Amino acid sequence: MASVLFCAAPPPSIFVFTIMPQEFVLIGFYFLALLYSVIMHEVSHGVMALWLGDMTAKYADRLNLNPAKHIDPFGSIFLPALLIITTGSAFGWAKPVPYNPYNLKDQKWGPLWVALAGPGSNLLLATVASLFAFALPLSQLAKQDIVARFAQAVYGGGSFFERFGSLTEALSGSLPQVLFGLLLIIIFWNVVLACFNLLPFPPLDGSKLLYVLFPIREETKVWLEHYGLFFLLFAVFLLAAPISFFINIVLSFFIRLAL
């Protein structure tokens, strides 16, 4: 039930660019928001399992927001950093929160509720952030300009720092502008995490729905969970366009809510 981190950036290029302190803060918040969105995702799995009768995550001291408890040194730090430097994109994971499905009160639906708690927490965070963004005293034109620059920062061309420099300029006018930009980052990462983890490929959370809907033998489930990551990587590269389309549809809904 590992959460998968997936962030994209263009291939690195040689450039000369002066990085201002504001850009350092914005980029730092960009990755900090990702980190804590993943942590909330994982903790939610453990909390739901606890509510349903399993104490494993509690005894493992994983029901907290301490990054040290959740970060996988290789999958959360080394591999993403290496991929960003060499390819401009990143793929990684956090340590899954442990739970024992045999301790759940509801043996049929319990594992599904535990699995859906992770994406559900991300969608809840995205909803709350969207509502706060909507309530900010900013004109529609100002919000649309920030959204456009944020889209350019995430999906556009040019160097990573240059793109975030343009976004920083849009957020330099007033406190509501800064808050709107930060809330957009929270919305973005939580939507990406929720949608990606809902894909029906083991070991993602969406695969648990397949286990409930279809009569899959226990031995097959174990095999899928063990080797599913290879199928997931294959699916990510083969189905990149439809996966991105799905994420963008959901993201557009929350952006409209924030406006």
Catalytic residues: 42
| 7-41: b (≥16 Cβ within 10 Å) or e | bebeeeeeeeeeeeebbeebbeebeebbbbbbbbb
Q: Which residues are CB-neighbours of 214 under 8 A, at least 6 positions away?
A: none
Measured CA to CA in angstroms, residue 189 lies from 30, 154, 208, 218 at distances of 9, 11, 22, 33
The answer to whether the CB of 66 falls within 8 A of the CB of 97 is no
CA–CA distance, 154 with 142 (Å, rounded to integer):
19
- Please tell me what DSSP assigns to residue 101: G
CA–CA distance, 100 with 116 (Å, rounded to integer):
16
Nearest to 46 by CA among 105, 115, 120, 109: 115
